[in-house]
Structure 1
Amino acid sequence: MTSKALFVELHAKSGREEDVAAFLKSAQSLVDAEPGTVTWFAVRFDKSTFAIFDAFDGDEGRDAHLNGKVAAALMANAAELLASTPQIRKADVLADKLSR
């Protein structure tokens, strides 16, 4: 059962909104290579507010993701693309509906 999740809200710098959108779209191929990531979403709320939501079967998958290529690329580009440091929120999943 999916038991762990992450929620990361991202605020793009003015003028870098489309760069953040492109970065998030390009990250999908990296996430596809992570067997411990059960589900992953990159979403946009408005012009400059984005988020990543992902879920895992346990701490091992979540930890691997946090130490993986997407997280490294996000942090390497954060100062250039983002108005503030990403706030990574760990969560416990209480219930889910996933097609597997």
Structure 2
Amino acid sequence: MTRKTLYVELHAKPGKEAELADFLKSAQPLAVAETGTVTWFAVRFDERTFAIFDAFDDEAGRDAHLNGDIAKALMGRADDLLASAPQIRKADVLADKLPGR
């Protein structure tokens, strides 16, 4: 069972919505390469509001993700793409349902 999650809300700067969407789409192969990341989603709520939601079996997986290539790439582009700092929320999983598990 997954035990840890992250929810990271992102708000695009005006005029940077398409670039942020493209950035998030391009991060998918990096998420696939993370052995500790069980599931990863990049989503869009409205024109300027995006989020990343991911789950991990343990704290080590979550920590590795927070210090991994996606986080580094996002923070490297934050001043250009984001209207405000990413809002990072950690949560503990109470129950899950995942394919193949």
TM-score (norm 1): 0.99
The amino acid that maps onto 2:9 is E
After TM superposition, which residue ranges in structure 1, 4 or more long, deviate above 4 angstroms?
none
- Aligned-residue offset at 1:87: 1.1
CA RMSD in angstroms comes to 0.5
Query: Is residue 80 of structure 2 the alignment partner of residue 80 of structure 1?
Result: yes
Task: For structure 1, list consecutive stretches of 5 or more residues without a partner in the other structure.
Answer: none
Aligned length: 100
Task: For structure 2, list consecutive stretches of 5 or more residues without a partner in the other structure.
Answer: none
SS in 1 for 2:24: helix
TM-score (norm 2): 0.98
Equivalent in the alignment of 1:10: 10
SS in 2 for 1:25: helix
Equivalent in the alignment of 1:69: 69
Partners of 1:91 and 1:62 in 2: CA distance = 10
The amino acid that maps onto 1:76 is G
Identity among equivalent pairs (%) = 72
